Structure 1
């Protein structure tokens, strides 16, 4: 009898091979002369084959035998929908008309999955929340439904919009007995971020006007992407002010905007050094300052994991920071 791991691998391999074969066939179809004569009808056929046929194959070969959750089917359908739009010729009218639908479809898939498993998400959040902060609890609850990687991406997108829309209304969540570690009051980080946004806005307008003469559609697309990218800096500035790092009796809660976060036991902090410039790049060093030079170097007794946006993780053994009251921080650290 085959081990369970071999059983799973064989079924997944069969699904991948059949899917690759189907994609190859559809690519050949899009390059045939008959496709140019009936682009809309055949585009619909390609979309149907790649989305519905592959989803059915996944259900028959993988999901049903392995008793996987139904949300996996929706994710497969979404991925194959993207593949279909990628291989369809750009000259056909249908794909261009479907791009807005793709965005709606993507968001709808996430909402449908969340709606089907909302009870699980809420129960997990309530179970985890008493022992952790709201952001970690939300990410953990999303991971129970979407998986760690997908949850990290969804959380990364959501947290940016969350801080942009309601961030300024948030109240501090630093415990009363903890030492707050602000990083923006003396560093000028917020002023520098505002200046960066103003420059980005001016450059974005200039680039938009130049691209409009060449291709208005491309100009609009790049402008939207640039504007969305600027939201990251807005969210980071708000998170820096409203959700600063803090040092408690047992741990250092490191929160650097929406860029990096980690929970570090105080026993893992080896020593703290005062610095006046950015350290040379080296393995295991994280530069946590933003738009300014760090003034503090925290060294750990063993490597720790810091989490970044969209599920990015790094293993570090020291971090360079700018702390407004570094002397007070060092004194508080040594006094406990």
Structure 2
């Protein structure tokens, strides 16, 4: 019942501003707009301020992030750009040129401040190094719409791990690396080198035809290389860990899952290929390009989260661990504690 009430309220929160936008569209298409006066200014204010304000008043005590007011402003801006006559779009252009960039910068600053505060709180509570990506995702889910939170966190993490966080990370007693004896970092390095060479050659070729297209494609290629760099660097920053009640599997920022101890059936040290089944997956999204040496069998379905928030179910998962025997021993030692309250 509570869930149904929440859904109904969310529908109302969305329908109310959409209805107001609909009324404004009707007004913009009516002959009244051709009579001059300040009607264009009034409609611009309604599109950019009044409707978003009504939406904010509706959601301020709900679970919907307050920052979703900004997308509502953007919707109003797009509607005005499409339906208002060009001569009445002066105030829309001013908003687009001066106000919207300021709002975007303020939101970015808010995210950074929230992330720093969350990391500080995490350090105080846990007494060790926090996982930046997890903290970032939690913060973004509080500030941004659900559909934008994970992609935004991924893009920020790529820059953070690729260019900011170069400090080495010491493993805790319950943490395990998976990149030192794997060929994945070398594979990413080779891909970055290939992209750099092809970008240079392709840019010279395309520049003879169209300079703008050449720079656009080069920019996309450079950004792809930056992403691969961030992916590669994140492998050493996000180790696999055994907590008090669960096993946390991570593969940089490319994939992750948390498996409660009661869901774990057996841990197998094996390099044999996984059977072809929709519930059998590898932790690494590289698939057959990276071998595994550990297979974890579950007694119930679990969820593997991938890049930009993609999801897939699994009941058997293969992964590479640099010290597989040590990992198996410690995990098996921890598993009996799922039935008692002893600390790990």
TM-score over 0.5 for the pair: yes
Q: 1:254 aligns with which of 244, 249, 256?
A: 249
| Residue segments in structure 2 that go unaligned for 5+ positions in a row | 30-39, 85-94, 335-344
Q: 2:51 aligns with which of 42, 47, 57?
A: 57
Query: How far is 1:158 from its partner?
Result: 1.4
The alpha-carbon distance between structure 1 residues 106 and 274, as it changes in their structure 2 partners (threshold 3 A), is farther
Secondary structure class of the residue paired with 2:296: strand
The alpha-carbon distance between structure 1 residues 228 and 274, as it changes in their structure 2 partners (threshold 3 A), is same
CA contact (8 A) 2:13 2:58 kept: no
The alpha-carbon distance between structure 1 residues 52 and 210, as it changes in their structure 2 partners (threshold 3 A), is farther
1:145 corresponding residue in structure 2? 143
CA contact (8 A) 1:245 1:254 kept: yes
CA contact (8 A) 1:121 1:145 kept: no
Structure 2 distance, partners of 1:108, 1:324, is: 42
* Number of equivalenced pairs: 303
- For residues 182-201 of structure 1, what are the structure 2 equivalents within 5 Å? 182-201=177-196
The alpha-carbon distance between structure 1 residues 114 and 250, as it changes in their structure 2 partners (threshold 3 A), is closer
Q: 2:14 aligns with which of 12, 15, 22?
A: 12
CA contact (8 A) 1:286 1:318 kept: yes
Query: How far is 1:25 from its partner?
Result: 9.5
CA contact (8 A) 1:160 1:231 kept: yes
2:231 corresponding residue in structure 1? 236
CA contact (8 A) 1:156 1:310 kept: yes
Asked if 1:321 is matched to 2:319, the reply is yes
Query: How far is 1:239 from its partner?
Result: 1.6
CA contact (8 A) 2:257 2:303 kept: yes
Secondary structure class of the residue paired with 2:181: coil
Structure 1 distance, partners of 2:6, 2:139, is: 28
Secondary structure class of the residue paired with 2:166: helix
Query: How far is 1:234 from its partner?
Result: 1.0
CA contact (8 A) 1:167 1:239 kept: no
Q: 1:270 aligns with which of 265, 272, 286?
A: 265
Q: CA RMSD in A?
A: 4.2
Secondary structure class of the residue paired with 1:168: coil
Structure 2 distance, partners of 1:269, 1:304, is: 10
Query: How far is 1:108 from its partner?
Result: 1.7
CA contact (8 A) 1:152 1:310 kept: yes
Deviations 1:11-66 (A, max 9, x none): 6324325546767998x9xxxxxxxxxxxxxxxx89x9789615532323x32345
Query: How far is 1:280 from its partner?
Result: 4.8
TM-score (norm: length of structure 1): 0.70
